[in-house]
Chain A
């Protein structure tokens, strides 16, 4: 019997060859390392392979090549042909690859125990239990009571949407509502698409509202900015904080946070009053100008100066500089920054950004606001990839927030409806909702109220920690993903190909997890294909070659856009730029705050004496909370005390706070202690914190309880008519705790 202990499972015992060989002696680790080093010196190791992939450390997903030696990651190199990386990866991209080998990675599917701890379960058990519960919920409460929240990259988009729609539910949500949701909605209603692309390289004057390419980094964008500065482009950074892009700027305007709309209205006022706007464009290619122009009269630079804290002369000069630059003057499109989702007036601010660019007549002009078409995937074989029957019920949240950006959904509605007992189940795919989207306590209450919560992730995020089931995905270098179409002057398709074998055999790629879930939930008929088949079909649908994509990582789609200066047909109901929005005009009975023309909306809260507005932002070495588990990146944070709160110097003096003191930051929702960074580089009405820190998942040791968590201070709220969470409508007090 004892013999079985070894021989049954373990192969060997009877192997004469093995025994004979062993008796010749074992090569020691040290000898092996030495001989390996010599072999590497002598020649390039024969075991080196290179795979085309994309970085996963932020939404940019820069193209890269993964060099693998003997099955292990050897180096990452930016793909020169990829429009986002242009041959470079940022430090975050390099550091975050550590997740592949991280001790904090999940290695098995898990079920939450009653005491909140987790136990490993088999995939079969996970699928069966989830499938049974899900079918029960759909049967009892209807498909509208289930939802999925996902990172809107191709794989998340395709599988999540298909899964939830096949269940009969329209409730597909992305994080965008808490990122660029207000901006996307505001742009769509004015010029018909959810974004544009400022031609920074060719602009004469470019104004950035809160956006910082050097903080929310993308290598190609940062390089463009540096090149533009070199060329002498007037770069104006409007930001309460002297951000890391400001070194390239001709001018820093430390605006009061939440008042960019007032600045833009005053710029519009000057452009119209001084007749510096593009009359041709306005006459032939817009609607609503005549309605709006008289309203602009009230928005003088003097009026705006009171609100923004910017000298009226500075506003006037900026407006004139833009007007003089004409088509080559542009307000940059931004992303989350100052008006992606932060204020009660974010949507209106986005509309006004679009309007200033329209007054400059710069759409599709060199140095202006580019509206480049993005190619769509071709048709796939419906017998292999069957269409999901059309869903007639409306996505939860659409009725309450009718101006929301279509498709993305208002993600915090999931928690709100769960608290009301109307949302019964939620799936989270690559999403740390509770830490990033709205107040964590409200999310926690919502999650606890639901009958089924499931998270698919590589690590135990704060959201996973609260879910009933956590399904362990393999890392991004261990899986094939769907190709992505990249917009811009030259449309392209990139691919992420599997570079490493799956290290933990109880982890699976996301696509396989969805197939397992679908089969257990009675919708397997919509998932009768492999990801290889889907990738091949998608690439073929664009008339591209899969082998070439695997080799080059990125391929051009069609010809480059060359319509600069040609008249634009806008994708709005009127086919023109809309200074007065027809969409809003058609639903005035549902509006709480907005009207067709763009008007001043104040921020929801204003700090009184002794208070600050709490604003947050990104640092170039982290992506939200996702990368705070990476030791290499957290070492940088810790080395340079990057978790500190920025406090304006004059106010710090009044409060007796010096550099490095520990301060307590408080409001009615939360109170936390952190070190102070006292600085002249900040508007005096606010304090600033990086939004990555203050992790509350003890599973992720590096970031656990390090720094303070931004979202804990943010009231659970929705921008009227639009829905994003208004993450900068937060008032706090700050006091010194110790030196």
Chain B
């Protein structure tokens, strides 16, 4: 699977996607392909014949050390759409103690500008920071519609779609710059998931894999 497609799949999983998108992203073959792509260090060395497609967690894998075998196994337990959307309705919306909205601004200082005169300019944890503005600018500069218009421009789903375009079309150094500048908050996001949704093992695994996959992209491209 091309990395841009893999990033598109990631993008579907951090938002309240509709059933069609969910099925597209998690349908059996696609998901196998996806896992192979995003967990490149995992090598399946034996898959017992008698295991059903839904129960392949006993397959024997070898991890060449960079990716977590546990995450890989967890990601194979794809939740049903109903389970996913119930989860998303409680965690992917704002204003709840369980909110784990994947928006970059929430992990940034609101404004770098020295003459912003609002009292909270230097605070973190607010929507629509400079980083959101920069994303808005980038989408506009490249004449690209914001992919998920109902989400902030710096929502992880939008960032990942943008990255997928960079991977396909931009220079390697631009890809790295973008990852370094706009996706370095993911470890903090992972911490937040652990704090507010510690039972969401599947999402925790997905995010761990995403963080490592981004490193792989950078390493591959450089």
Contacts and interface: CB of A to CB of B under 8 A. Distances in A.
Contacts of B106: 103
A29 B134 contact: yes
Contacts of B25: 5
Interface in B114-158: 114-120, 123, 125-128, 130-131, 133-134, 137-138, 141-145, 147-150, 152
Interface in B7-23: 8-9, 11-12, 16, 21
Given A9-B148, A18-B144, A106 B95 contact: yes
Interface in B151-191: 152, 161, 164-166, 168-171, 174, 177-178, 181-182
B48 interface: no
A120 B88 CA distance: 8
A632 interface: yes
B165 A18 contact: yes
A1 B30 contact: yes
A117 B98 contact: yes
Interface string A272-316: 000000000000000000000000000000000000000000000
Contact of B95 (A2, A6, A13, A459): A459
Interface stretch (A170-178, A229-237, A381-389, A501-509): A501-509
B123 A98 contact: yes
B94 A30 contact: no
A104 interface: yes
Contacts of B141: 21, 27
A107 B93 contact: yes
Contact of A97 (B5, B119, B148): B119
Given A19-B168, A505-B150, A120 B93 contact: yes
A29 B94 contact: no
B143 to A, nearest CB: 6
B119 A91 contact: yes
B96 A26 contact: no
Contact of A4 (B11, B24, B123, B181): B24
Contacts of B97: 698-699, 701
Given A2-B1, A6-B164, A30-B181, A25 B94 contact: no
A699 B145 CA distance: 33
Nearest to A20: B169
Interface in B94-117: 94-99, 101, 106, 110, 112-117
B87 to A, nearest CB: 10
Interface range on chain B (Cβ under 8 Å from partner): 35 or more
A98 B120 contact: yes
Interface string A435-448: 00000000000000
B215 interface: no
A102 interface: yes
B64 interface: no
B80 interface: no
A334 B148 CA distance: 52
B12 A108 contact: no
Contacts, number: 188
A11 B30 contact: no
B4 interface: yes
A631 B116 contact: no
Greatest chain B CB density within 10 A among A13, A29, A98, A460 is at: A29
Contacts of B182: 29
Nearest to B174: A26
Interface string A64-103: 0001001011111000000000000001001101100111
Interface stretch (A32-40, A212-220, A399-407): A32-40
Contacts of B127: 101-103, 105, 503-504
A3 interface: yes
B191 to A, nearest CB: 15
A12 interface: yes
Contact of B119 (A9, A15, A70, A98): A98
A91 B88 CA distance: 37
A110 B93 contact: yes
A703 to B, nearest CB: 13
A29 B136 CA distance: 12
B140 to A, nearest CB: 11
A10 B127 CA distance: 22
Contacts of A105: 94-95, 127
A27 B33 CA distance: 33
A46 interface: no
A17 interface: yes
Contacts of A73: 118
A22 B143 contact: no
B86 interface: yes
B24 A117 contact: no
B221 interface: no
A23 interface: yes
Nearest to A93: B119
Contact of B12 (A5, A95, A119): A5
A600 interface: no
A26 B8 contact: no
A699 B110 CA distance: 21
B66 interface: no
Nearest to A110: B93
Given A22-B142, A102-B126, A106-B94, A95 B8 contact: no
Nearest to A73: B118
Given A29-B182, A91-B119, A5 B138 contact: no
A94 B143 contact: no
Nearest to B92: A120
A121 B133 CA distance: 29
B144 A12 contact: yes
Contacts of B99: 103
A65 to B, nearest CB: 12
A514 interface: no
A23 B161 contact: no
Nearest to A23: B169
Interface string B20-56: 0100110100100100000000000000000000000
A28 B96 contact: no
Contacts of A505: 149-150
B94 to A, nearest CB: 4
B118 A17 contact: no
A118 interface: yes
Interface in A698-725: 698-699, 701
A110 B90 CA distance: 9
Contact of B30 (A2, A12, A27, A28): A2
B154 to A, nearest CB: 11
B119 A21 contact: no
Interface string A488-517: 000000000000000111100000000000
Given A23-B169, A27-B137, A37-B114, 17 more contacts: A2-B1, A5-B30, A9-B147, A13-B165, A18-B142, A18-B169, A19-B168, A23-B170, A32-B134, A67-B117, A101-B128, A103-B94, A106-B94, A504-B127, A506-B150, A632-B120, A701-B97
Closest 5 CB pairs of A and B: A75-B117, A107-B94, A10-B147, A101-B126, A22-B169
30 contacts: A1-B30, A2-B5, A2-B8, A2-B30, A5-B8, A5-B21, A6-B5, A12-B147, A12-B165, A13-B165, A15-B144, A21-B142, A26-B166, A26-B177, A26-B178, A29-B134, A33-B134, A73-B118, A95-B120, A101-B110, A103-B101, A104-B94, A105-B95, A106-B93, A107-B95, A120-B16, A460-B96, A506-B93, A632-B119, A698-B97
